[in-house]
């Protein structure tokens, strides 16, 4: 079959565009309703995509935004590895970080979709598995020094061949896992999702014909490219620089690791260059090409104005230079287990700091950066083992921006508020723990004319012994990593995590460390806010007063951070004293 993409009327293009989104939603619903793990069902740590026969990204559903931009790269590698040997009924499994994937925890299930014996589409699911076969939990081993210690590496291979399950591949993979039942259940829901996509896409081709569908795809991608070029032309031409560091990686602690970015804007094209960034690290905080690529396009698509569709078209005007041999593009076999969470936070903020010099009205201050706890154990209530990525610790706020305060659940930057905080009751059913406290943390917002959202205070009590390998992972425990304020706005404060032991005593827990819990132990977390935007002494007095009345800002911080004097007894603003204090600040 020779496809001759035809010119399609705008109404049909709009209908098909919406239908592609709808098919992605169908895939996502399959994952949420049939998953064996709360990682899919509650936190929704996955992304689904539809690509054309040439692996051009058409549409995606970004429950975990940083994953989605990498789906096209994964399909390109799968297709290249099996060129001439792709058949109807094949389903591929793949997690190799050095052949187009993010990190080993994100397993790809990809299905080529044929119509009348011709390859027409690819449907792919990338979702985080609760076990990768390493000695840690959910793919995180803080002592990992190679990709092999990150877990079981799966190059692009066929899980199903011409409709038949390859039981050898299944058995080999599951035999290397501690939680095979949970992982296989999630793989099967992935298979179900791409099969649902196949059914819907074939119905679309049957109704509209391949020529019409491909004509609409060309129009959709061309429109996205034109929109991105239009927005880039609004950025002043020039060269802009930004830098951001993460805190110590787990092998050589207390060593900042830096992203250096140079952004060049010329006409309707933009280049992001990471030359000069630090070399690879011994520990698991290195990025991969797929993550760095996805993080760049995530920032460009969602921090620039307008509703740009994140597809192949919007990628074309943006060039990324990411030399091999840095921690953002390491050489095999460097460990990369935390590639999807740690590097994109620094990448995103470095890009924002660079662009703030060019387009300050479009840019937000830094979002809170994430640490979270991963554990597994035996749940006596369900008589089953459980695996938990504690996404209650993922609800970080966004920074302030021109005209608006930050959102209380708008970050981290690689999630953009998309990763859902789990339900308390469901969590307590799924794992043996009590959620004791989850609330906003007073005085945690980065102060500014437009402040950030507030951080959170979280307490959880373990009811059982965790299995060995539980770990606190992430970043954000050093001042230089905290969310950056812009244009006089203040930075946030670091994360802190403390364990109150049932047998007495407390332990301050650092990121990148194994950390087991025992019955009665309480983990207490103080999770950072974002960065402020603009001089805090220019903040509207009534907004400060409102935050004080709501007990989100203390009387002391209102005075010191914002220059607003409030009577602590009757909670009334002293306008004269406020005016005098703000005058002193300006001098």
Strands (E), 247-353: 257-266, 269-273, 318-321
Q: Which two tokens stand for residue 89?
A: 């009924």
Q: Angle between the 167-175 and 180-208 helix axes, to the nearest 10 degrees?
A: 140
The C-alpha atoms of residue 152 and residue 555 are separated, in whole angstroms, by: 53
The C-alpha atoms of residue 443 and residue 504 are separated, in whole angstroms, by: 29
Question: Which three-class secondary structure state does DSSP give residue 58?
Answer: strand
Question: Cβ neighbours of residue 198 under 8 Å, at least 6 residues apart?
Answer: 111, 113, 123
The whole-number average pLDDT for the span 132-159 is 92
Q: Say whether pLDDT at 1 is over 90.
A: no
Question: Cβ neighbours of residue 71 under 8 Å, at least 6 residues apart?
Answer: 47, 48, 49, 51, 57, 60, 108, 124, 126
pLDDT tens per residue, range 263-300: 999 999 999 999 999 999 999 999 999 999 999 998 88
Question: Which three-class secondary structure state does DSSP give residue 433?
Answer: strand
pLDDT tens per residue, range 418-450: 777 888 998 898 899 999 999 999 999 999 999
H or E segment at 117? none
Q: Say whether pLDDT at 2 is over 70.
A: no
Q: Contact, 575 vs 544, CB < 8 A?
A: no
Percent share of the chain, pLDDT over 90: 79
Q: Say whether pLDDT at 551 is over 80.
A: yes
Enter the pTM of the model: 0.92
The C-alpha atoms of residue 393 and residue 539 are separated, in whole angstroms, by: 29
Instruction: Pick 584 or 535 by higher pLDDT.
Output: 535
Q: Say whether pLDDT at 410 is over 90.
A: no
Instruction: Pick 255 or 1 by higher pLDDT.
Output: 255
Residue (of 283, 261, 280, 279) closest to 270 by Cα position: 261
Q: Which two tokens stand for residue 21?
A: 């989104």
Q: What is the mean pLDDT of the chain?
A: 93
pLDDT of residue 366: 93
The C-alpha atoms of residue 304 and residue 269 are separated, in whole angstroms, by: 14
The whole-number average pLDDT for the span 194-203 is 97
Q: Contact, 86 vs 112, CB < 8 A?
A: yes
Q: What are the extents of the domains in the chain?
A: 10-224, 364-539, 541-586
Q: Worst-scoring range by mean pLDDT, 305-309, 361-365, 579-583?
A: 305-309
Question: Which three-class secondary structure state does DSSP give residue 198?
Answer: helix
Q: Say whether pLDDT at 69 is over 80.
A: yes
| Phi, psi dihedral angles at 179 (to 5 degrees) | -120, 60
pLDDT tens per residue, range 291-348: 999 999 988 888 887 778 889 999 999 999 999 999 999 999 999 999 999 999 999 9
Around Cβ 81, how many Cβ atoms within 10 Å?
Answer: 17
Q: Say whether pLDDT at 34 is over 70.
A: yes
Cross-strand partners of 121? 52, 113
pLDDT of residue 319: 96
């Amino acid at each position: 079959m020779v496809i001759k993409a035809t010119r399609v009327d705008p109404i049909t293009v709009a209908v098909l565009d919406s239908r592609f989104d709808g098919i992605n939603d169908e895939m996502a619903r399959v994952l949420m309703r049939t998953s064996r793990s709360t990682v899919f069902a509650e936190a929704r740590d996955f992304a689904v995509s539809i690509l054309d026969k040439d692996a051009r990204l058409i549409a995606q559903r970004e429950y975990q935004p940083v994953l989605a931009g990498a789906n096209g790269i994964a399909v390109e590698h799968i297709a290249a590895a099996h060129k001439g040997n792709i058949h109807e009924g094949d389903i591929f499994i793949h997690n190799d970080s050095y052949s187009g994937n993010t990190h080993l925890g994100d397993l790809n299930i990809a299905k080529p979709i044929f119509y009348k014996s011709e390859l027409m589409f690819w449907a792919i699911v990338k979702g985080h598995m609760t076990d990768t076969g390493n000695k840690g939990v959910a793919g995180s081993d803080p002592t990992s020094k190679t990709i092999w210690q990150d877990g079981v590496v799966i190059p692009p291979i066929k899980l199903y061949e011409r409709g038949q399950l390859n039981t050898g591949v299944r058995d080999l993979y599951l035999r290397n896992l501690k939680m095979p039942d949970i992982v296989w259940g999630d793989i099967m829901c992935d298979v179900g999702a791409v099969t649902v996509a196949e059914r819907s896409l074939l119905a679309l081709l049957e109704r509209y014909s391949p020529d019409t569908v491909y004509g609409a795809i060309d129009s959709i991608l061309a429109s996205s490219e034109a929109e991105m070029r239009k927005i880039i032309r609004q950025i002043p031409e020039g060269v802009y620089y930004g830098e951001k560091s993460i805190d110590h990686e787990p092998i050589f602690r207390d060593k900042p690791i830096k992203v250096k970015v140079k952004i060049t804007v010329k006409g309707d094209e933009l280049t992001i260059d990471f030359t000069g960034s630090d070399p690879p690290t011994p520990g698991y905080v290195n990025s991969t090409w797929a993550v760095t690529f996805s993080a760049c396009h995530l920032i460009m698509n969602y921090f620039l104005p307008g509703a740009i569709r994140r597809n192949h078209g919007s990628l074309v005007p943006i060039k990324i230079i990411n030399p091999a041999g840095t921690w953002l593009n390491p050489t095999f076999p460097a460990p990369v287990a935390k590639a999807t969470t740690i590097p994109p936070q620094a990448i995103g903020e470095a890009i924002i700091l660079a662009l703030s010099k060019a387009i300050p009205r479009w840019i937000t201050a830094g979002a809170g950066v994430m640490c979270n706890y991963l554990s597994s154990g035996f749940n006596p209530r369900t008589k089953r083992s459980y695996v938990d990525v504690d996404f209650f610790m993922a609800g970080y706020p966004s920074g302030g921006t021109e005209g608006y305060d930050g959102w209380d659940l708008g970050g981290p930057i690689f999630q953009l508020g998309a990763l859902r905080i789990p339900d308390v009751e469901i969590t307590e059913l799924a794992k043996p723990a009590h959620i004791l406290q989850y609330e906003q943390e007073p005085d945690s917002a980065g102060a500014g004319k437009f402040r950030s959202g507030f951080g959170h205070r979280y307490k959880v009590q373990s009811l059982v012994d965790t299995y060995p390998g539980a770990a606190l992972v992430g970043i954000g425990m050093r001042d230089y990593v905290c969310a950056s304020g812009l244009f006089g706005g203040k930075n946030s404060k670091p994360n802190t995590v403390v364990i109150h032991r049932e047998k007495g005593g407390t332990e301050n827990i650092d990121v990148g460390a194994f950390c087991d819990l025992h019955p009665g132990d309480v983990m207490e977390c103080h999770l950072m806010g974002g960065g402020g935007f603009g001089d805090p002494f220019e903040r509207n007095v009534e907004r400060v007063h409102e935050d004080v009345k709501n007990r989100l800002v203390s009387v002391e911080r209102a005075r010191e951070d914002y220059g607003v004097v409030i009577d602590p007894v009757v909670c009334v603003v002293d306008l004269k004293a406020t005016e005098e204090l703000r005058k002193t600040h300006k001098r």
